[in-house]
Amino acid sequence: MAGVSAAAVAAGSGVPAGAGTPVGGAVPADPFQLGVASGDPEPHGVALWTRLAPRPLAEDGHGGMPSRPVHVHYEVAEDERFSRVVRRGRAVATPELAHSVHPEVEGLRPGREYFYRFRAGNEISPVGRTRTAPDTRAGVDSLSFAMASCQAWYHGHFTAYRHLAEEELDVVFFLGDYIYEYAINSGNLWREGVSLGPGHDAEVRTLEQYRLRYSLFKSDPHLQRAHARAPWVTTWDDHEVQNNYAGLNSQYGISREDFARQRAVAYRAYYENMPLRRKAIPRGPDMRLYRRMGWGRLADFHVLDTRQYRDNFPEDQAERTDPSRSILGAEQERWLVDGLRRSGSTWNVLAQQVVMAQIDRDMGPGKTFSMDQWDGFAANRDRVFDAVRRFGVDNLVVLSGDIHRHVAAELKADFTDPGSATIGSELVVTSVGSDGDGAPTDNYTDLWLSNPHVKFYDGRRGYVHCTMTPEQLSSRFKVVDHVRRDDTAPVSTVARFVTEAGTPGLKREG
């Protein structure tokens, strides 16, 4: 388990610690500087998270905590004043997991709002709000969710989260690039009004460096408030480990053996800092992140991992159609197809990382495709689309991130034929901060819109707010005009699309 003992995992998950786990001593003041979070809601429970760090930017990665376990108590209540507490428990924050805890609270009522908080010593955390999923058999009138991705802290303020935290949300989907591994220095520190020490001016490769990078990003108050506002369902892309990695293949000359070690510590730091259940605990360089979440009979969300199991970049463009190439890996692909086959929900949603729609990047007579997106794995995409058609999945929606741009696209049975059947819709969310301010149009606007199934493109920062009912999915693409100089930019809806249940495709309404 990359040095993580089973006892440490059990203790941090809220399972009673063994007799051999000594806990005691004073807790440093103000240990909740990284906030609180919840995630992966189920009908009767949810995962809670916090990480004790009185000095979050301590370069040893331990956040200023002593090298000993600490009791962390939690309460879950039906009201924000905690006059109706329904669950109490205790977890043990250990140095092995950077003093993070992931208690899994059970015995809650389906489809209900709850509030939670932690206590360590005499210190009390901020209050978080969460929600359980509806009963699996329940009819659901409406679901409100947001999408976010790509939050390069050093490129700009997290203004998008300031506005997202004001939305009435049931759940937030984060679709990858929670951190970036690049050295931070004067060349890329575009977030005005901040300064950093030399410890951040290094490419992230060690466990201590990954922990420090999460602490830096999570120190943002708007991100903390967004986490505390609603449960999150998270998945990763490449920058949580290294740019453009593919399976155990680094694109920067690192041997597979050395990269496996780097991936192991990166995955461990990811687990330490996300509101994940203990079944996601990494084992060396492996971590089961793909999973499914139901929302009554309204929707099945299939959360994918398109990094850990993918084949390496092909040698040439022709290889992209090789049937043996996979972006999911055989086991995850079988799991997804089986989930599509079994689903009885109105909507089937793939929450994943990279653009699925075919995007021809040659505006002339030739054809050129990105090998890092689903275009580099065309046969794998065809197999998923075949399953959609074979099992009569009428309402397929794909949520994606990665490209730092808002895009809305229709998914075609045959992308080479614009007149072929539309089998689903893809909503691509722009970045929270990556690439700085952005602009409504840029050097890639014409390229993307030259693909006839792409219906919208905007290059500013923001998020997407969706409202799903049994009749339709409404998606609002939100933008802020600047993020570099400060966090005061207002938010606006730049486009709104509706997808009618039973009629795949996108209808623009604003």
**Domain check: are 292 and 176 in the same one?**
yes
**Domain check: are 101 and 208 in the same one?**
no
Q: How many domains does the chain have?
A: 2
Structural domain contains residue 200: yes
**Domain check: are 128 and 149 in the same one?**
no
Q: What pLDDT was estimated at residue 20?
A: 44
For 283, the token pair is 């084992």
**Domain check: are 128 and 204 in the same one?**
no
Write phi, then psi, for 320 (nearest 5 degrees). -60, -25
Structural domain contains residue 316: yes
Alpha helices by DSSP H, listed for 32-72, are none
**Domain check: are 92 and 174 in the same one?**
no
Average predicted confidence (pLDDT) for the chain: 95
**Domain check: are 3 and 151 in the same one?**
no
Which residue segment(s) compose the domain that 334 sits in? 142-213+220-238+285-508
Q: What pLDDT was estimated at residue 19?
A: 38
For 197, the token pair is 């020490």
**Domain check: are 111 and 184 in the same one?**
no
**Domain check: are 126 and 155 in the same one?**
no
Given 84, 99, 133, the domain boundary residue is 133
Structural domain contains residue 384: yes
Q: What pLDDT was estimated at residue 16?
A: 45
Structural domain contains residue 491: yes
- The pairing of strands 45-51 and 36-42 is antiparallel
**Domain check: are 55 and 75 in the same one?**
yes
**Domain check: are 368 and 320 in the same one?**
yes
Given 133, 167, 186, the domain boundary residue is 133
Instruction: Tell me the DSSP string of 77-111.
Output: ESSTT-SSEEEEEEEEE-GGGTTEE--EE-SPPTT
Residue-wise pLDDT tens for the chain (510 aa)? 445 666 666 667 775 444 345 566 789 999 999 999 999 999 999 999 999 999 999 999 999 999 999 999 999 999 999 999 999 999 999 999 999 999 999 999 999 999 999 999 999 999 999 999 999 999 999 999 999 999 999 999 999 999 999 999 999 999 999 999 999 999 999 999 999 999 999 999 999 999 999 999 999 999 999 999 999 999 999 999 999 999 999 999 999 999 999 999 999 999 999 999 999 999 999 999 999 999 999 999 999 999 999 999 988 888 999 999 999 999 999 999 999 999 999 999 999 999 999 999 999 999 999 999 999 999 999 999 999 999 999 999 999 999 999 999 999 999 989 899 999 999 999 999 999 999 999 999 999 999 999 999 999 999 999 999 999 999 999 999 999 999 999 999 999 999 999 999 999 997
Structural domain contains residue 273: no
Structural domain contains residue 127: yes
- Whole-prediction pTM: 0.96
Q: In this structure, which amino acid lies at residue 263?
A: R
**Contacts of 39 by beta carbon, 8 Å cutoff, 6+ apart:** 46, 47, 49, 231, 232, 233, 234, 274, 275, 276, 277
Q: What pLDDT was estimated at residue 95?
A: 97
Structural domain contains residue 466: yes
Structural domain contains residue 182: yes
pLDDT 10s digits, 72-121: 999 999 999 999 999 999 999 999 999 999 999 999 999 999 999 999 99
Closest among 114, 122, 63 to 86, alpha carbons compared: 114
Domain containing residue 186: CATH number: 3.60.21.70
How far apart (Å, rounded) are the C-alpha atoms in residues 422 and 206? 45
Given 110, 133, 156, the domain boundary residue is 133
Domain containing residue 114: CATH number: 2.60.40.380
**Domain check: are 124 and 175 in the same one?**
no
For 339, the token pair is 């989930």
How far apart (Å, rounded) are the C-alpha atoms in residues 233 and 291? 10
Q: What pLDDT was estimated at residue 24?
A: 62
**Domain check: are 148 and 27 in the same one?**
no
